[in-house]
Amino acid sequence: MHLTRGDKQKAVLVVGGTGFIGSAALRALTDDGPPPTGAVKALVRRIPDASDALHGVEYVTGDLTDPASLHGVCDKVGTVLHCASYIGADEERNRSVNVDGTRALLAEAQRAGVRRTVLVSTTAVYGAGPHHDLTENERVPQPTSPTSRTRLQAEEAVLAAGGTVLRPPLVYGAGDVWVVPSLAELLRRVQALPEDGRARLSLVAVDDLARLLATLARTPDLLPPGTTHHAAHPYAPSLREFVSLLGETLGLPVPTEGLALDDYLARLRETPGKVSAHQAGLLAEDRWYRSTLWSRIGCSPGPGHHTRLSEAAPWYRKLLTPQ
């Protein structure tokens, strides 16, 4: 989406502009060519090399854990896309980035007169499943990890400030080092699917999520302030369906066998790997979230999972090929 000259005083600031989702959002904001000077800004901890920087994007440095470093980053900004978060087990780091950092960013946005902040959160805030065709207001979040607990607190701060919260589910595409790589590892370790792969899983391609963010950045009045929305592709495939797509697009093995969850986890524990039994167990129950946001704001959800996986295949092949 291209910015016109009249948008100069209403820049878009992408927080976490070199991250997986943030960098995709920047690409979506510049997909029609370089924007006018100062129209698209990216808050990063380190300015990217020239070969990695997007032409026309103004990169500014700052750290969410250092409020003083944020002063001025929101000047002449109309919309903030907050795509930065810490994901890990460090309780203090989760709090300093996800909670305190978000509050510091909101304070700077208020000082500068930013019109709207959009936070990229996660459906993980709901906690234990199963989640079957879940709507945004159907269930009170009950996060179970330090990351999801603090990201819910970040949501609360953004909503209180009149911002918008998006909860994407599993996000895949070029740059993904978790979703598809984890499935590839599990398929290598156990040649079977838990509960025969019947669980339905909501997913979204990062490029489609980025288009959604760009649409909201351009037209913040499409959604009422202080609201939360799922950002999943409308079709939630079963685990077996998605693994079959991985077989078609990436050549990964597609197991024909199914195992009861306890048997699957017992077999998984016999093999070393990065993916834990707890994480694998999440794939055995529905994590399916209804998402009507696309039609509400007139943004296409994209060509579908098969096409998006095919487009990302070169990235995944390079990542998954042993060096």
Closest CA to 154 of 247, 83, 71: 83
Closest CA to 208 of 79, 35, 24: 24
- Domain positions in the chain are 5-318
Grouping H, G, I as helix, E, B as strand and the rest as coil, residue 15 is strand
Task: Among 3.40.50.720, 3.40.1350.10, 3.30.420.10, 3.30.70.3040, name the CATH number for the domain at 5-318.
Answer: 3.40.50.720
Q: Tokens 């994590």 — which residue?
A: 287
Strands 116-120 and 131-134: unpaired
Supply the pTM of this predicted model. Answer: 0.94
Is the Cβ–Cβ distance between 137 and 150 less than 8 Å?
Answer: no
pLDDT in tens, the chain (323 residues): 334 333 345 899 999 999 999 999 999 999 887 788 889 999 999 999 988 889 999 999 999 999 999 999 999 999 999 999 999 999 999 999 999 999 999 999 999 999 999 999 999 999 998 999 999 999 999 999 999 999 999 999 999 999 999 999 999 999 999 999 999 999 999 999 999 999 999 999 999 999 999 999 989 889 999 999 999 999 999 999 999 999 999 999 999 999 999 999 999 999 999 999 999 999 999 999 999 999 999 999 999 999 999 999 999 999 998 86
